[in-house]
Chains A and B, each alone.
Chain A
């Protein structure tokens, strides 16, 4: 019986796996992805941390990797803003700031260095976010760091569906599909928008809504917005995941989602096939090359021999032997191995994708 066959199989659809897929599709490869869950998108908002050190280490690759990722995020209708030389401090839900070089459009405007009045908006009845606490902490941390923004806590009332409890997930789903909710949220935020230069709100702008809708919302409100990632699962993180997956599918990537790879078959230094754990029997997928982007928390598929990676990002043993000539490892998976510091998801995803193209 024939199996599926791809030029490249990527295991894991976190930030690194997605970047590898983007790179390979861009080079015209036929790509399949096997993934379970949302990866670390459930924790984050998708911002790209301070890039300066990485940029210095691998300037040419880094520029290209970032450009390609940003271009695809734009095509997926979730544009990022920023630049490699910039560091911007953006608020977090815990009342701290993170230094980032790029962030998705819904987060980017929360620049702490500007001397503006920010309203931190909580929603009455939602227990997972305390606007008072976040605003208090932000003011404290801002003062400590000499940031100029001033934070004021505000609360809005939103209707909830009968017999349900107020949750950010409920509001996000309604933002996606219910135009009355969209209007209701506008009305609730209007009075605050008159007094503030920036509205900071936990994840609410849908799990599927794209740039234009959120932009229109902001435009209608006539006030800048900054949407924080809420406690997991993060609404903006899942939204970014959803739009990127839809974009990659549209561009020909074939997803095998929901089932984990249980075995890699490596024979004579070559990885030949993977077994995916689907109902009733395994699905075997053949490929020319394979990238592991399984993150730092999953069971290792290549065992204890995995010591480090070579210059092409292929896993090697302690003695320097390549484990399989067509097998690559990227992203947080590299956290667990070797002295390799260079585990940046976008950079390693890009580098592995390009390694495969160059070595074909």
Chain B
């Protein structure tokens, strides 16, 4: 399932578009960057409320497929710019991480 398909299936909104044809192979939920850094895997869809420039760096270094900002958490202007430069896809939803993860598990299982 690609990022584009996940976006369409779950009704997510695109804030920055990287490679939407990337395959999503898993999911990680978390806001503490060192936890995410140590635990998230390549190809994960990362659900977080952390919309700052450091989150973008973590997404790049862990090779996440995309970031989803849950509960419409704010995306900093600097983070948006950096994500665009680095080709990181950031999506947004009004749902909580739990609610979205439950729906996501049904489509990537």
**Pairing of A with B:** no
